[in-house]
Each structure stands twice: as structure tokens, then as C-alpha cells.
Amino acid sequence: MKACVNRSCARTRKEDTGIGELPDEILVLILSRLTVNEAARTSVLSRRWEHLWKYSTGSFDLRAPEVGFGWEGGTESHLSRFSGKSNYTNWVNRVLGSHRGQTLDEFRVFFKLGKSYEEMISSWINFAIKKQVRVLELDLGFGRDNHHFTFPSLSHLGFSSFKNLSALYLSRIDITDQVIADILSNCPLLEELSVRYCSTLVDVQVNAGPNSILSLKHFEIFRCGLIKSIEISAVNLISFKFIGAMISLSIKNAPILAQLEIGGDYCYGLISDLGGLLLVHPCQLERLVLDLNCMTPVDAMKVFLRGFVQFCRVKYLELRVRLREQDEHSILFLTVMIEACPYLQIFRLEVTNYSMRRFLNEECSKDLPDFWRRISQRKPTMEDIRCFRAMDSNFPLPSRHHHNQNFLYQCLETVELVGFSGHPAELELAIYLLENAALRLQRITIDPHLQHFASGFMLAEKVLAARESAKQFETKLPSTAKLVIL
């Protein structure tokens, strides 16, 4: 590489000053810290820089929307250059054909390419293997026929293993149970595996071969519709995420598993049947995320108020819930899960706020409850809290004014409310947490930006109203805490 680059650049060294005075090898190392898109932009600096980026060993992040350099110099817009699949694939092929480095750290492709591009995509994967890629990420979407690209077997690619692969992320790509098993058996350094929106996984087994131990530390299965079972035996596994239907899920021999994320119908079924997320020993977990978006507030409350086992080591708890503007229900029942984590330090609530306001005209809105019309016309205030009614008198809710010298939340340091809209249910929960947190509470962060089904001016208006509502917390803060509104 040195001789090649030096011959092409020797005549132009005097053009460079500053960083350009460094040897080619050092410049290539610097360029390797950039993505290929960023590194290629330096080709217009001078004739010496024209070819340096081609020896980069950094990240090939081939996201079409982020492409901003022209192959003949200058810049071109994404929309004019990559409006069609053929333009995108031609660009990727030119990038790969120009690369002269021996290795590659990361290779990422993001574009809607279906089964008709199977041979070409396989050649890209083959390129990545030859370059001893460490991180491989493919998100190919799907075409009009909804036929995903099928990830090839290692034998089809002509390799016995991905010997340097440490992370594999596949989204909207079909992969079979057997190929997953082969990858786990033949990628000795693989630590992270994520499969999302796959329609061919059925019975997944994550375990080592007879003469090996899995290096796998992080494993994710997300919305794979036909999956029926997952069996895991991985002594190095640290985190596991599953969002999907109610299936047969077994985790054995995972002694250091400390981070668990569960969602979809499986989450509802698990906490309904077991009341304690007993996939692993409850005192093993340190980080717990429950995605409850598949559940209505009524269903979630009935499940939560049955109680949970104690999670004596959980320090981070994240709950994701859905809340509609017209809902009059309290979400104080979520505190049952918080109280099951006596050493909790960080609590994060993510609210998916389903706004129906844009679908309703003035004529039909008069049939809505007075409560909804009131909070739709102005920012909600703490006075709206008194409008709540209990969902079921058989389930006693925790008192918002439960205040004692010992406090409920002795270790709580940080509260994060993401998707905050100023709904009275959010206000009530936040007040309850503030009133029952000890003086260790340092920060409450309000982020109103995760509000679904709203856009443009309506979204901007909602965010401003939410920020105004959040300012009401100032008077409720402990002396040690800081309010941050994003």
C-alpha cells in the first residue's frame, strides 16, 4: 500500500500543509476512524488525498440517505442519486470495487432490497468476509412482493467460518434455524447477535457445539412472527431481548445474565402467568425493561397489582406504556414494579402517546368526555389530577401522598419521562415519585419528543405545551434534585 500511494502522491506533497505533512500511513489510520462516506469526501482536497480513503479500514456505513459525496468530486443530493435501487446498488458496487485495504472494521447496508437482489447481496457479504469484517449489519427492508432476502449459509458463501466477526445485526432478512446454529458454531468471537423482522425462524437454539463455548454476550429476537420456541444455554450471555408472541422460551446455564428486555404478547403472558418474570433468578438481574405497549392501561393494572417478586439487584428499570389523550385512568399502578426493586437507582418511563385529535373534527368532538375536551384545549395542570377515577374499586391504588420519614425509594437517583405530553396521568405519577423519593434524587429529565401520530405544526404545538406542563414540577423537587426539560 505504501509504495502504491506514495507513487500517486509524490508530486503533490508540497500542496499540503498541517495534517497533510503526516505520512500516508498515519493519514490512512485517521481516515479509518471515519465512515466511508466521510473519508471519501477528502478525495477532493488534492491529488494526494484522492486515493487515500480507499485504504481505510474503518466503517463502510452504506446508508443511502447519508451519502453526500460525488465520485467525480463535489457533492450530490441523496434524492437525485439514490431514488432507485439500481442507482444505490451501482454506487455500493463502485465503493467496494475501489477499496484497497486488507481489512474492514464494520460493514453496514441499509436499503430496501428484496429477493431479486440475492446474488448481489451475497457478493457484498462475501466481500465483507474476505475483508475480515468485525461488525456486519444488514437492514434490507422488502420490496412490493414482501419477499425478504435470505441470508446464505457459510458453505454457500464458500467459507467455513467468520473468524473475526464479533457482531451480526440482521433486520428484514430471512435466516433459517440451521444457519443461526452454524453461525454460532463457526464464529468463535461472535458476541452480539440481533435478528429483527425475520419470517423464517421457528425453533431457535442458542448453545455451543460439543467442543466449544459460546462467546455470545448479547442476543436479541425482535418481531419474528413465526417463531415458536427459543432455547438458550450460553454461559457468557449478559443481555437478552425478546419482543414477540407468547412462545416457549427457556434460558438455562446463563449465570451472568443481568439485562433482560421483554415485550409484546410474551411480556403480557409472562407477567400474567408467573407474576415475577421467572425466566432467570430475580436476584440475578441488574437491568430490566418491560415493553407494555401491547396492553391497555386496564389490563396492565390488573396484572401489576397482583404483585411481583423482589428484584434485589435491579438498578435500572424501564417501563414502556401506551396512553391516549382521552384516557382518564391513573398509571400509579406502575409503582408496584418500582417498589419490587428496592435498590433502584434509575427509573425510565417511555410513553407512546396516541393522539386522535387530528382525526376528529369539531362536530364529532362534542361527543367526547368533558375531561378529554378540557385537556385538548389547553395544557393539562396538576388540578386535572383530581379528575381521575379508579379503574376497579377492587384494586387499591397507592396513595399519592404516602409520605413518611423512611421514604419508599431510598436509592432512586434519576427519573426520566420520555414522550411526556403533560397528561394528568403522567403528572400524577411524577408527583408521586418526587414526594416519595429520598434526598438521593439528583435529576428528573422530561423529554416530550416521543409523541406518535402527530406531525408538523401539531407536533411542535404539543411539545411546547408539554414543556410548559413540565415546569410545574419545579415546586415539587427535593432540594438535591435538578429538573431538565429537553
SS (H, E, C) 15-78: HCCHHHHCCHHHHHHHHCCCEHHHHHHHHHCCCCCCCHHHHCCCEEEEEHHHCCCCCCCCCCCH
CB–CB of 117/145 below 8 Å? no
pTM score, whole prediction:
0.79
Quote the pLDDT of residue 73. 32
Distance between CA atoms of 410 and 266, rounded to whole angstroms? 31
CB atoms within 10 A of CB 274: 12
Quote the pLDDT of residue 146. 54
Distance between CA atoms of 82 and 76, rounded to whole angstroms? 10
Cell of 121: 447481496
Distance between CA atoms of 311 and 338, rounded to whole angstroms? 10
Distance between CA atoms of 76 and 87, rounded to whole angstroms? 13
Cell of 247: 412462545
Region for 235 from its dihedrals, namely left if φ exceeds 0, alpha if ψ lies in -120 to 50, beta otherwise: alpha
Residues 6+ apart with CB under 8 A from 388: 328, 329, 330, 424, 425, 428
Quote the pLDDT of residue 458. 56
List, for the chain, all residue ranges whose pLDDT scores fall below the cut of 70. Answer: 1-20, 44, 64-83, 142-147, 155, 158-161, 209-212, 273-278, 324-328, 354-407, 450-459
SS3 265: helix
Quote the pLDDT of residue 461. 77
> How crowded is the C-beta side of 165, counted as CA atoms within 13 Å?
26
Distance between CA atoms of 87 and 368, rounded to whole angstroms? 50
Cell of 229: 420456541
Cell of 306: 397482583
Domain ranges, ordered by start, for the chain: 57-66+101-257, 263-354+406-485
Which residue, 85, 185, 221, is CA-closest to 142?
A: 85
**263-354+406-485, which class in CATH?**
alpha beta
Distance between CA atoms of 189 and 72, rounded to whole angstroms? 39
DSSP state of 202: -
Helices (H), 67-202: 78-81, 85-98, 118-130, 154-157, 177-186
Cell of 266: 410474551
Quote the pLDDT of residue 75. 33
Angle at which helices 24-31 and 2-9 cross, to 10°: 100
Cell of 438: 429520598
Quote the pLDDT of residue 169. 95
Cα angle: 184, vertex 190, 196; to 5 degrees: 75
Which residue, 139, 67, 58, is CA-closest to 99?
A: 58
